[in-house]
């Protein structure tokens, strides 16, 4: 708890005010990742291999953008920073626990960007949904990777609406926002890839499924090339009697 409090306080100072409410979630995820490192290792390795495989197909490696960079556990940052002139990491929060390492090792090549990628504000205002429109302003863009972000768009907005319902939003707000992210990636003139969890299952020690949920609210990811399971909540994390398995897919959209 002491390390979490220190990480929170140090991150708070470096985070724009509008994104500070999300720091607690990032710190909690950081703590869980540390506890579940062994259970998450295969998922993280699969994610890194997929990203490196996509990058290896490029003729030019000038700028790479990682959307939803998060804890960077599933991003092969060392290889990307060595292979590209610039790597831009985009997320709501960049924890202080990561900043020191980033700047010590990759100060010349890595850029941090705080940004809400959900598209919520535009949808609420009735504007065209272009949550990734800012990428058109990134010079020499050769690779964009969305990493375990897509499901969080739907989950985050759903949690927000449960706390504070917004009658200005359409009934299909969640699938609209999720589809807008996929459409934004598919329209890019560079290599665009996505790794996302699509569903989760609650399973007991006998292998019996007790709950299942579609995290993409009916939206389907096109051009899937790989898939694997990610034990986000292994046995013993929340209960010794069940685990929560997320279904993950990887796709090269362009």
Q: Which of 8-12, 35-39, 183-187 has the lowest mean pLDDT?
A: 8-12
What is the pLDDT confidence band of residue 203, given thresholds at 50, 70 and 90? Answer: very high
**Whether residue 44 has pLDDT greater than 90:** yes
**Whether residue 105 has pLDDT greater than 80:** no
Distance, CA of 9 to CA of 168 (rounded, Å): 35
pLDDT at 192: 98
3-class DSSP assignment, residue 199:
strand
Q: How buried is 104 (Cβ within 10 angstroms: 0-12 exposed, 13-18 middle, 19+ buried)?
A: exposed
pLDDT at 8: 87
Mean pLDDT of the residues in the chain: 93
Q: Which of 93-97, 101-105, 223-227 has the lowest mean pLDDT?
A: 101-105
Whether this model's pTM surpasses 0.85 = yes
């Amino acid at each position: 708890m002491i390390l979490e409090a220190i990480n929170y306080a140090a991150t708070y100072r470096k985070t724009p005010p509008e994104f500070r409410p999300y720091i607690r979630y990032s710190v909690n995820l950081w703590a869980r990742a540390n506890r579940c490192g062994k259970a998450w290792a295969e998922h993280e390795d699969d994610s890194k291999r997929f990203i490196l495989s996509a990058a290896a197909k490029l003729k030019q490696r000038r700028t790479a953008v990682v959307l939803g960079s998060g804890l960077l556990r599933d991003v092969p940052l060392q290889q990307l920073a060595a292979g590209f002139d610039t790597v831009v990491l985009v997320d709501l929060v960049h924890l202080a626990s990561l900043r020191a390492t980033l700047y010590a090792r990759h100060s010349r090549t890595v850029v941090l960007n705080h940004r809400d990628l959900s598209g919520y504000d535009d949808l609420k205002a009735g504007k065209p949904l272009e949550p990734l429109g800012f990428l058109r302003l990134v010079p020499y863009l050769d690779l964009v990777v969305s990493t375990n972000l897509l499901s969080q768009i739907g989950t985050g907005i759903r949690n927000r609406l449960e706390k504070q319902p917004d009658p200005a939003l359409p009934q299909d707000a969640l699938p609209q926002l999720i589809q807008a992210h996929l459409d934004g990636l598919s329209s890019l003139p560079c290599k665009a890839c996505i790794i996302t969890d699509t569903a989760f299952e609650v399973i007991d020690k006998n292998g019996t499924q007790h709950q299942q949920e579609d995290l993409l609210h009916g939206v389907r990811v096109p051009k899937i090339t790989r898939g694997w399971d990610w034990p986000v909540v292994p046995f013993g994390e929340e209960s010794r009697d069940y685990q929560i398995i997320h279904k993950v897919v990887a796709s090269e959209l362009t």
